[in-house]
Homo-oligomer: A and B are copies of this chain.
Amino acid sequence: MKLYDFSMAPNPRRVRIFLAEKGIEVETEQVDIPSGENIAPAFRAINPRALLPTLVLDDGTVIDESVAICRYFEELHPEPPLMGTDAKSKAVIESAQRHMEWDGLMPVADAFRNGNPAFADRAVSGTEGVPVIADLVDRGKSLAGRFYDSLNSTLGESEYVAGDSFSIADITAFCVVDFAKWVQIRAGDEHPHLQRWYAAVKARPSSGA
């Protein structure tokens, strides 16, 4: 199998950290997003949606979407569990993971892509001919600020994003926090729980993946 990757982008990083936590090694190939390598015909022939990460299995099956790729590896290599172990924990972690995506990753991505000249005509990942909407920069930053406040509150009540155990929800949140620095959004003194958690996740060997 092969994992199509781009080292600087937040979504491929989610999968790399997940694999590092599991101790799994997969062959990777870099596809450069800013220069448009992902939307060129060669990569669209592999994944018409032109998104990274993309996993291609040995039988040719193409799986994109970070969480779906993680699911594949979670099922094959359940230890250590990162997506829950029973109905309730699986649902709680999936819910929290999606909070990190919808409330955090999406507004930060909106602020990043709609304010970046490299994506002037491809404001939505994988597309061409979609012009930026400047108002989404401010909306994204505003929503990201709310997200930080909410995440800080969550982390004031539990050690990790989805409870007592490190999970895929922490991986998504950690990648959002680092991605947000690209648009000058940072946790501050008013987010002590978030700061405590960030330092703990950063200290894990997987954070460098």
Known: A61-B88, A133-B133. A94 touches B75 (CB 8 A): no
A191 at the interface (CB under 8 A from B): no
Could you tell me the distance between the alpha carbons of A103 and B142 in the complex, rounded to whole angstroms? Answer: 24
A203 at the interface (CB under 8 A from B): no
A183 at the interface (CB under 8 A from B): no
A79 at the interface (CB under 8 A from B): no
A residues 91-142 in Cβ contact with B at 8 Å:
91-92, 94-95, 98-99, 102-103, 123-124, 127, 130, 133, 135-136, 139, 142
Copies of this protein chain in the complex? 2
Chain B residues with CB under 8 A of A86? 75
Interface residues of A (CB under 8 A from B): 48-49, 57, 61, 63-65, 67-69, 71-72, 75-76, 86-88, 90-92, 94-95, 98-99, 102-103, 123-124, 127, 130, 133, 135-136, 139, 142-143, 146, 150
Beyond A63-B91, A65-B98, A67-B98, 16 extra complex contacts between A and B, CB < 8 Å: A65-B94, A65-B95, A67-B94, A68-B92, A68-B94, A68-B95, A69-B95, A71-B90, A71-B94, A72-B90, A76-B87, A123-B139, A124-B139, A127-B143, A130-B139, A136-B136
